[in-house]
Amino acid sequence: MDFDQILLEISRYVQPLFGKGKVADYIPALSAVPGTKFGMALHTVGGETFQIGDAEERFSIQSISKLFTLSLAMGFVGEELWRRVGREPSGNPFNSLVQLEYEHGIPRNPMINAGALVICDVLLSHTKDARQAVLDYMRVLSGAHDIVFDAAIARSEADTGYINLALANFLKGNGNLENDVEAVLDLYFHQCSLVMSCSELSRAVLHLANGGVSWHLSETILTPGQVKRLNAVMLTCGLYDAVGEFAYRVGLPGKSGVGGGIVAVMPREYSVAVWSPELDAFGNSMVGGAALEYLTTLTGRSVF
């Protein structure tokens, strides 16, 4: 497959879409990013790398981090995890309080904020230093040892995180947090503040296309069973409440964030990350979604 040519075609195809979405503006660090940024990186399970545009530029990965913290937590508690968080699509906004209330403090899935807060709680209970554990995990998976949290973003998240505060308090009130609300929120705001490039993100999810074996260490990160489960959760819960639309158009398991990034995997073939900050009404990258749709169209292959 000539991925160099395919990425070039994609970058041309998406041009008319710039200016149609809206860059996230709830914190200054996100609203300051130019909407015209576009990067895409793809890694094959055979070891080839392809990229185009701003693929080496780091951006705020935001909710894409939920995929990695889930993966880390699954390693600590296995199937026990599902007693505290569900695995069904939410069909509701990612920060819905209503849903959490009528489901008695059991978040619908780990990809919405309430679910991610429970995952943070699991990490705090199973590590000495949960922030460092998340950072170490991202560094190992991506092979980039200088990945850091962006302190300004983490602070802004905390300054504006009123709804997350409400969700965490509601979880605590329902007995679904073991640790202090403050500690859980601190970890959550920090995971949102991770900054990574498309190239680093694509490498960090390559094992999910490769039966759980990491790209650079030839080391098993996850078992094939865990890979199946993570990819299933991505496919059904990874794109906010537009997950059906993404499956319909793109046909790959993926996870998005309001920084404009999306990661996706084509099992046994490749991993891919795309970044473009202008979002659609659901909070997904408008250009990023179109780019991935065009990728599966041009390759003629998806998980279906």
Of 46 and 281, which has the nearer Cβ to ligand GLU? 281
Rounded Cα distance between 97 and 164, Å, is: 9
CB of 253 to ligand GLU, least distance (A): 17
Q: Which of 157, 186, 278, 280 binds ligand GLU (CB under 6 A)?
A: 157
Of 9 and 57, which has the nearer Cβ to ligand GLU? 57
Q: Per-residue DSSP letters for 222-258?
A: S-HHHHHHHHHHHHHHTTGGGHHHHHHHT-S-EEE-T
| Cα of 5 vs its chain's centroid, Å | 27
Ramachandran bin of 24, using left for φ above 0, alpha for ψ from -120 to 50, beta for the remaining angles: beta
Please tell me the total number of residues recorded for the chain in this structure: 304
CB of 192 to ligand GLU, least distance (A): 4
Q: Note whether 164 binds ligand GLU by CB under 6 A.
A: yes
Of 50 and 94, which has the nearer Cβ to ligand GLU? 94
Bridge partner residues of 209 (DSSP): none
Q: Note whether 96 binds ligand GLU by CB under 6 A.
A: no
Of 192 and 265, which has the nearer Cβ to ligand GLU? 192
Closest by CA position to 115, among listed 30, 232, 240: 240
CB of 65 to ligand GLU, least distance (A): 8
CB of 282 to ligand GLU, least distance (A): 10
Q: Note whether 257 binds ligand GLU by CB under 6 A.
A: yes
Q: Note whether 199 binds ligand GLU by CB under 6 A.
A: no
Rounded Cα distance between 119 and 128, Å, is: 15
Q: Note whether 94 binds ligand GLU by CB under 6 A.
A: yes
CB of 66 to ligand GLU, least distance (A): 8
Rounded Cα distance between 35 and 21, Å, is: 8
Rounded Cα distance between 186 and 220, Å, is: 30
> Per-residue x/- mask for ligand GLU, residues 57 to 76, rule CB under 6 A?
-----xx-------------
Q: Per-residue DSSP letters for 149-164?
A: B-HHHHHHHHHH-HHH
Which phi and psi angles does 270 have, rounded to 5°?
Answer: -160, 165
Q: Note whether 284 binds ligand GLU by CB under 6 A.
A: no
Rounded Cα distance between 287 and 198, Å, is: 14
Cβ(272)–Cβ(204) under 8 Å?
no
Q: Which of 44, 69, 95, 109 binds ligand GLU (CB under 6 A)?
A: 95
Closest by CA position to 250, among listed 210, 301, 199: 301
Q: Which of 71, 96, 113, 271 binds ligand GLU (CB under 6 A)?
A: 113
Amino acid at residue number 211 = G
CB of 23 to ligand GLU, least distance (A): 13
> Per-residue x/- mask for ligand GLU, residues 21 to 60, rule CB under 6 A?
----------------------------------------
With CB under 6 A, what is the number of residues at the site for ligand GLU? 11
CB of 169 to ligand GLU, least distance (A): 15
Of 44 and 69, which has the nearer Cβ to ligand GLU? 69
Which residues would be at the binding site for ligand GLU (CB under 6 A)? Answer: 62-63, 94-95, 113, 157, 164, 192, 257-258, 283
